[in-house]
Amino acid sequence: MTGSRLAATAFILALLASAAGAQQPAQPAKPPAAAQPAKPPAAAAQPAKPPAAPAPKAATAAPTAGDAQPALLGQYGDWGAYAATPGGKKVCFALGKPKTAKTEPEGRKRDPSYLFVSTRPAENVKNEVSIIIGYPFKSSSDATAEIGSAKFAMYTQNDGAWIKNIAEEARMVDAMRKGADLTVKGTSGRGTTSTDQYSLKGLAQALDKIEQECK
């Protein structure tokens, strides 16, 4: 279960990264175009043309990633609902970013953090809660997710966290639907502690939307 959840989380992050990268297609394309066209004219009769082959490969990679780009189904309060169909298998997820993010000691660098709830009908997965914390968690440490008075232990691996007791996931999602905010606490491998607070405004509507889209 741990491996499949880790793979699914990494997959959704890759979709998001491809969507972000697609907004800047001109920058990666310029270096190969500038370096290689100058050389072929100097050696037209020689096999100097093969170096041009890597350039077409880079060009075909971008459309492939774009085919699997997540589409925004709607923005609901602080949550976006998304869907993608990579390899013919539909994936839907609600994505939120923290309203506040604190570290102790202050000022420690970290990557962006996210919380998403995903549904993957091909894997018979519905409303799987995943957290990306933005740094490698301390080995063998648990994170916590608090919604009002409800507190859930989250097992960690690398920079991801998932509910430790899978039997509690439905209760956690229900609490998220009804709650005002969710607080995630974790500890990095360097001993830095973090506290991220997510607004849950609009999450219920985003979950309803992905449920309709990924039946």
Q: Which of 9, 194, 18, 11 is nearest to 117 (CA)?
A: 9
pLDDT tens string 191-204 = 999 999 999 999 99
Is the domain defined by 69-213 classed in CATH 2.10.109.10? no
Domain ranges, ordered by start, for the chain = 23-66, 69-213
Tell me the average pLDDT of the chain. 81
Per-residue confidence band for 15, with pLDDT thresholds at 50, 70 and 90: low
Would you state the pLDDT for residue 18? 56
Would you state the pLDDT for residue 181? 98
pLDDT tens string 98-156 = 999 999 999 889 999 999 999 999 999 999 999 999 999 999 999 999 999 999 999 99
